[in-house]
């Protein structure tokens, strides 16, 4: 199977490659063409996933297709952007028809869930990896950024944390669990749901935001640095799922939430008077701390005393 036959058979004919809102020209030319409504800005993000680093070298290609796109789409949620399109650069050690068919189906399912159109990319031979670039649009001046948190704001997260990190021993077949525990955790690892609607709803309400990919503590550190403030997190307020606690115990579950990564939920700061409006529409949102003068991230125990935080989030180098 040649490169162009591969693209045509598994990707160009996919429903997500048939255009979408703002897509003037998709697959078939040297560049895709996207049209933005007046007074809107283009949001762009790129992520690379490498076998053995970001996912097990041997895994279900359908689930991998879902995960690959969700990871990138979550960056659009963090900016409050409306999804438009994405490109896929896929490096394969071989053109396996069954693998490609399953991967393309998983990719399509997540593309439909995120309303993203596939508009181009590339294929090449080599160790398995994929680079996805996502495009979104946001009204000029309304994008959520990491800078903007103010002293007195509340620190919130978009739901329970730590499930994906807690699922890793299951993903790697290092341990087993009964279905009612394993299935929700594995779903959070393989099929994260980018909080796109929440991100768009936070425009004009949140003062700063990002998606949690490298661990709550590490990512909150980015908000603190960009905003020139300190973030204080109350460990007892960090939301944990029953499945994660059942698998790992509360102490390890909290460590997964604080530094495990791969959550792809939003962390954001909001003035106290706006929190009720957010939670009325998004009851899963939890307030976990506050913004103070200073720098860095401080973790408090149930008595309000500062405690040593677990190691920081994932770093490649």
Residue range 229-259, pLDDT digits in tens: 999 999 999 999 999 999 999 999 999 999 9
The pLDDT assigned to 316 comes to: 52
pLDDT tens digit string along 162-201? 999 999 999 999 999 999 999 999 999 999 999 999 999 9
Q: How confident is the model at residue 317 (pLDDT cuts 50, 70, 90)?
A: very low
208 close to 147: Cβ distance less than 8 angstroms: yes
175: buried, middle or exposed (CB in 10 Å: 19+, 13-18, 0-12)?
A: exposed
Nearest to 238 by CA among 148, 149, 158: 158
Residues whose CB is less than 8 angstroms from the CB of residue 82 and which lie 6 or more positions away in sequence, other chains included: 76, 136, 137, 138, 196, 200
Q: Give the distance between the most distant pair of CA atoms in the chain.
A: 63
Residues whose CB is less than 8 angstroms from the CB of residue 251 and which lie 6 or more positions away in sequence, other chains included: none
DSSP-derived pairing of the beta strands 23-25 and 33-34:
antiparallel
Angle of CA points 64, 265, 311, to nearest 5°: 90
CA distance 294 to 286: 23
Q: Check residues 6 and 230 and name the one with the higher pLDDT.
A: 230
SS3 288: strand
pLDDT tens digit string along 76-132? 999 999 999 999 999 999 889 999 999 999 999 999 999 999 999 999 999 999 999
The pLDDT assigned to 195 comes to: 98
Q: How confident is the model at residue 53 (pLDDT cuts 50, 70, 90)?
A: confident
Output DSSP code: residue 27. Answer: B
Share of the chain above pLDDT 70, in %: 97
pLDDT averaged over the chain? Answer: 94
Is the Cα dihedral 93, 98, 99, 100 positive or negative? Answer: positive
Domains belonging to the chain, first-starting first, are: 3-139 (3.30.1330.10), 154-307 (3.90.650.10)
pTM of the predicted model over 0.85: yes
């Amino acid at each position: 199977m040649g490169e162009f036959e591969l693209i045509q058979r598994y990707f160009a004919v996919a429903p997500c490659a048939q255009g979408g809102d703002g897509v003037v020209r998709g697959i078939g030319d040297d560049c895709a063409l996207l049209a933005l409504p007046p007074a809107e800005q283009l949001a762009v993000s790129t992520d690379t996933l490498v076998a053995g680093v970001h996912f097990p070298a041997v895994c279900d290609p359908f689930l991998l297709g879902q995960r690959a796109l969700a990871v990138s789409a979550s960056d659009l949620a963090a900016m409050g952007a409306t999804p438009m399109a994405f490109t896929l650069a896929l490096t394969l050690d071989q053109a396996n028809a069954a693998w490609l068919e399953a991967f393309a189906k998983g990719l399509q399912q997540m593309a439909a869930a995120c309303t993203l159109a596939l508009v181009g990319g590339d294929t090449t031979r080599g160790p398995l990896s994929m680079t996805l670039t996502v495009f979104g649009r946001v009204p000029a001046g309304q994008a959520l950024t990491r800078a903007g948190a103010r002293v007195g704001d509340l620190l919130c997260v978009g739901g329970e944390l730590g499930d994906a990190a807690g699922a890793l021993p299951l993903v790697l077949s290092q341990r087993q669990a009964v279905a009612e525990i394993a299935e929700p955790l594995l779903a959070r690892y393989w099929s994260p749901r980018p909080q796109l609607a929440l991100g768009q709803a936070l425009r004009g309400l949140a003062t700063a935001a990002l998606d949690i990919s490298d661990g709550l503590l590490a990512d909150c550190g980015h908000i603190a640095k960009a905003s020139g403030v300190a973030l204080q997190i109350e460990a007892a307020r960090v939301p944990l799922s029953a499945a994660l606690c059942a698998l790992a115990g509360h102490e390890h579950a909290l460590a997964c939430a604080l530094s495990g990564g791969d959550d792809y939920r939003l962390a954001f700061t909001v003035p106290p008077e706006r929190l009720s409006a957010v939670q009325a529409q998004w009851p899963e949102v939890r307030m976990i701390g506050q913004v103070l003068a200073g720098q860095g991230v401080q973790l408090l125990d149930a008595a309000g005393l500062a405690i040593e935080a677990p190691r920081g989030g994932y770093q490649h180098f």
